[in-house]
Structure 1
Amino acid sequence: MAVDFTDPRSGFRHNEVVMFINEEVVSNGGGPDFYLTFRSRPWNEIEDELQSILADLQVPRTVKRACLWSALALNVRVATRQRELQARRVRRLQEQVGERETAAWALASQLRRLREEREVLVRQLRSTRSDLQQALNEREELRGQLLQAERQPSEVASPSRSQQLGADAWPLTAEERNKLLIATSQRRQMVEAQKEEAQKEEAQKEKAQKEEAQNAPAGVG
């Protein structure tokens, strides 16, 4: 028997077909040797061996016919093996495609996350730049106020210690400096007026004392 009924790799699905091939092989004087020898070989080797047998004039025609039927069965077996290999290759490719798709989705998700993080960083950078520019502007404004305060006339009375500390801690605006200068000038004028009034009163007292001394009667000796 050339083809085994129970061999799932033979490629045949119907027992009647297998029985007919085996009968043709046996009836033509053949046996299972050709089939068993080449059942795991590729088709090109099977065909080369069959061509060698057919070209041999010493091989009987019946044996050639038996080998031809065995080669036919082997061809079905080779086709089945190739179909199984192709199916496995397709499944492997499908798995690889699935893996690539999963990786692509993961990369796309990661790309979206990186873009969102980039947008957040860009907004933070813009906010930081704005804060920095505002701080620089405030520094320049404070520097200008400090320079202007240093250029004030020296005759202006200096403010009290607490006011001076406050001014050092936080520079005055132009309006606040004007108010401070006016208040200082008014206090100075008030102090000078009070001083003049006190001097006048003192002079009047001295004058009155002199007049009393002159008008007093001379004492008895």
Structure 2
Amino acid sequence: MAVDFEDPKSGFRHWEVVLFINEEVTRNGGGPGFYLTFISRPWKDIEDGLKSIVADAQVPCTIKRACAWSALALGVRVATRQREKQTRRVQQLNGQVKEHEAATWTLATDLQRLRDERDEMISELRSARDNLKQVLQERNMLQRRLVEFKLSEQQLLAESQDADYPGTPPWPSFVEKPTEAVDPGLQNGQYAVSPKKAQMASIKGLPRSLP
């Protein structure tokens, strides 16, 4: 028997087909030798092996037909193996596609989050800029008020000095005011008495009999 009925990797789904192939191999004088020799090899090796038998004139035609049936069975097996391999490859690719989609979704979410953070930061910077502009304006206004207050204070001080010395400009701060002359009597240790005080003293010394 060339093909095993219970082999799940044979590629055949119907046992009637397997039975017919085995009968043809046996009827033509063949056996499981060719099938078992190339059971795990690629189709290229199977075809090369069949060619060497078909091209050999010393090999009977019945054996050539038996090997051809075995090669047909091996071709189905190879096709099944390639289909399973492609199926696994497709599953792997689908898994990679899903992973890429998940990674893309994650990146898109992160990108949107970064955009939102950027917009929020821009809004905060604009608000800070407006607040700074307002603070600078208030500072300039306070500086102007301070300058006006100092000028007003100096003007009031100047008017006060003019009231103390009418008609006479105030003494500059860098010029010393002239000191009053010292009475010669003070130099001798006597107290100086003004004329007005002396007159009052003389009046007080008069008797009270005056009408």
> TM bucket by the smaller chain?
0.7 to 0.9
Corresponding residue number in structure 1 for 2:97: 97
SS in 2 for 1:8: coil
TM-score calculated relative to the size of structure 2: 0.72
- In the TM superposition, what is the alpha-carbon distance from 1:150 to its structure 2 partner? 2.5
Q: Distance in 2 between matches of 1:115 and 1:153?
A: 56
Q: Is residue 116 of structure 2 the alignment partner of residue 119 of structure 1? A: no
Structure 1: distance between partners of 2:33 and 2:131: 93
CA change 1:18–1:149 in 2 (3 A) is same
Cα RMSD between the aligned structures?
Answer: 2.9
CA distance in 2, matches of 1:59, 1:18: 25
Tell me, which stretches of 5 or more residues in structure 2 are unaligned?
164-202
Per the alignment, residue 76 of structure 2 pairs with: 76
Matched with 1:207 is: none
Q: How does 1:26-65 map to 2 (within 5 A)?
A: 26-65=26-65
| 1:123-202 correspondence runs (5 A) | 123-152=123-152, 154=154, 156=156
Amino acid at match of 1:78: V
SS at match of 1:91: helix
Alpha-carbon distance in structure 2 between the residues aligned to 1:5 and 1:64: 23
**Gaps in structure 1 of 5+ consecutive residues:** 159-180, 189-210
For 1:139, give the aligned amino acid: R
TM normalised by structure 1 equals 0.69
Over 3 Å counting, the alpha-carbon distance change for 1:147 and 1:58 in structure 2 is: same
CA positional deviation for 1:151: 2.4
Q: Pairwise mapping of residues 198-209 of structure 1 onto structure 2 (< 5 A)?
A: none
Matches for 1:16-31 after TM superposition, within 5 Å: 16-31=16-31
CA separation of 1:73 and 1:148: change in aligned 2, threshold 3 A: same
CA distance in 1, matches of 2:119, 2:127: 12
C-alpha distance in structure 1 between counterparts of 2:155 and 2:146, whole Å: 18
- Cα distance, 1:33–1:157 mapped onto 2, change above 3 Å: same
Residue 155 of structure 1 deviates from its aligned partner by 5.3
Query: Which segment is superposed worse, 62-71 or 100-109?
Result: 100-109
Shift of 1:157: 5.2
* Distance in structure 1 (CA, Å) of the matches to 2:72 and 2:53: 14
* Residue deviations 1:59-106 (CA, integer Å, cap 9, x gap): 111111111000000011011111111111111111111111111221
Percent identity over paired residues: 57
Displacement over 3 Å in runs of 4+: 216-219
Structure 2 Cα separation of the partners of residues 86 and 155 of structure 1? 101
Distance in structure 1 (CA, Å) of the matches to 2:90 and 2:155: 100
Question: As a proportion of its length, which structure holds more helix?
Answer: 1
Give secondary structure in 2 for the equivalent of 1:9: coil
Say if 1:218 and 1:147 are closer, same or farther in 2 by CA, change over 3 A.
Answer: closer
- Structure 1 residue identity aligned to 2:19: M
Per-residue CA deviation, residues 179-214 of structure 1 (Å, 9 max, x unaligned), is xx9xx9xxx9xxxxxxxxxxxxxxxxxxxxxx9x99
Give the Cα separation in 1 of the matches to 2:155 and 2:72. 126
- Opposite residue 4 of structure 1, the aligned amino acid is D
Counterparts of 1:135 and 1:121, CA distance in 2: 21
How many residue pairs are counted as aligned between the two chains?
A: 171
- Structure-2 separation of matches of 1:153 and 1:13: 114
Residue type of the partner of 2:8? P
- Alignment partners' CA distance in 2, 1:84 and 1:155: 105
